[in-house]
Chains A and B, each alone.
Chain A
Amino acid sequence: MGEIDLARVMKELEKAARSRDPRRVVRRLVNAFIGHLTPENVERAVRENLDLFDLVVTQYRLADPSVLPLFKAAMRMYWPEFEEAVTNVPRLYDLIKRRLGDAPIASSPEFINYLNSQCESFYKKMYQLVWS
């Protein structure tokens, strides 16, 4: 996946900062993430043990000095909603499973282990990024 245009990222963050409905914003982000999943790319992620946090940081240019401060502020506003979404693996799994349908990878123990460990590490790394 290539990087997303910086202006688009800033625009999305600005929209998030204006929103009066944090749950909707987080739901939209989670759905956007799940919408990108296919059995093939999930299989690849599990096989290569891809770090989702690194992927998101690169994809959305979150480490960019012009994005990071606004991202941190927006995330602090939406932290309870984000936390609720990422710390409940069974709920996230249900959403992903619905997206992947009957694909064998969706029910494999490897994927479940991967999802458990990624959710935990994603949450910890995001906590460090947002609150440091």
Chain B
Amino acid sequence: MDELSYIILSALVNGAVMAVALYIGMRKGTEKTVDIVIERLRKRLGGSPTAKRLERLLESADRLLGDEELAGQAARFFKEAADLVSSREARDFFRSLAELLKSMTARPPPMKEVVKLGAPSKKEAGAHG
């Protein structure tokens, strides 16, 4: 049973990885790409309730990147998924996914100053050069 759950979960995880990768790329992607992804996802995930939720989420993906609330909903979905699954690997994966979604709408941080290295002393440079 555990093995079967693992196989199902793997399919879900693989589908989700693919979905997230394209999810992120959708802003620049074409409508056709989105349709292909959703179609592939449907095939991979079958008709489970989780798959349907994920599918609904994907169908609104075009709005996601510019919509913090929607991104928050998606992140919560993956957080819930992380609590529901028993495998540690899957749990970590869903948590990462939630973080990934959060990062997509993150605002640019301020740039840091680069700490530079001083030139070597003549003695040091001369010892080698």
Q: Which residues of A contact B (CB under 8 A)?
A: 10, 14, 17-20, 65-66, 68-70, 72-74, 76-77, 79-80, 83, 86-90, 93, 102-104, 106-109, 112-113, 115-116, 119-120, 123-124, 127, 131
B7 at the interface (CB under 8 A from A): no
Contact across chains for B115 and A89 when beta carbons are under 8 A apart: yes
Contact across chains for B119 and A90 when beta carbons are under 8 A apart: no
Contact across chains for B93 and A89 when beta carbons are under 8 A apart: no
Kindly identify, within residues 81 to 113 of chain B, every residue whose CB is under 8 Å from any CB belonging to chain A. 92-93, 95-97, 99-100, 103-104, 106, 108-109, 111-113
Say yes or no: A123-B114 contact (C-beta < 8 A), given A107-B129, A109-B125.
Answer: yes
Contact across chains for B95 and A20 when beta carbons are under 8 A apart: yes
Say yes or no: A108-B95 contact (C-beta < 8 A), given A17-B100, A76-B104.
Answer: no
Most buried by A among B20, B24, B92: B24
Q: Which residues of B sit under 8 angstroms from A83, Cβ to Cβ?
A: 109, 112
Contact across chains for A109 and B120 when beta carbons are under 8 A apart: yes
Number of chain B residues close to chain A: CB under 8 A: 36
Q: Can you offer 28 A-B residue contacts whose CB atoms are under 8 A?
A: A10-B21, A14-B17, A17-B17, A17-B96, A20-B92, A65-B29, A66-B25, A68-B25, A69-B24, A69-B25, A69-B27, A70-B20, A70-B24, A70-B25, A73-B104, A74-B100, A77-B103, A86-B114, A87-B115, A89-B115, A89-B117, A107-B124, A108-B128, A112-B120, A116-B116, A116-B117, A119-B116, A131-B109
B107 to chain A, nearest CB (A): 9
B33 to chain A, nearest CB (A): 10
Q: Which residues of B contact A (CB under 8 A)?
A: 17, 20-22, 24-25, 27-29, 92-93, 95-97, 99-100, 103-104, 106, 108-109, 111-120, 124-125, 127-129
Option from A19, A74, A79, A89 in Cβ contact (under 8 Å) with B114: A89
Contact across chains for B93 and A18 when beta carbons are under 8 A apart: yes
Rounded to whole angstroms, the CA-CA distance of A17 and B28 in the bound complex is 20
Q: Which residues of A sit under 8 angstroms from B20, Cβ to Cβ?
A: 17, 70, 73
Option from B28, B99, B119, B129 in Cβ contact (under 8 Å) with A77: B99
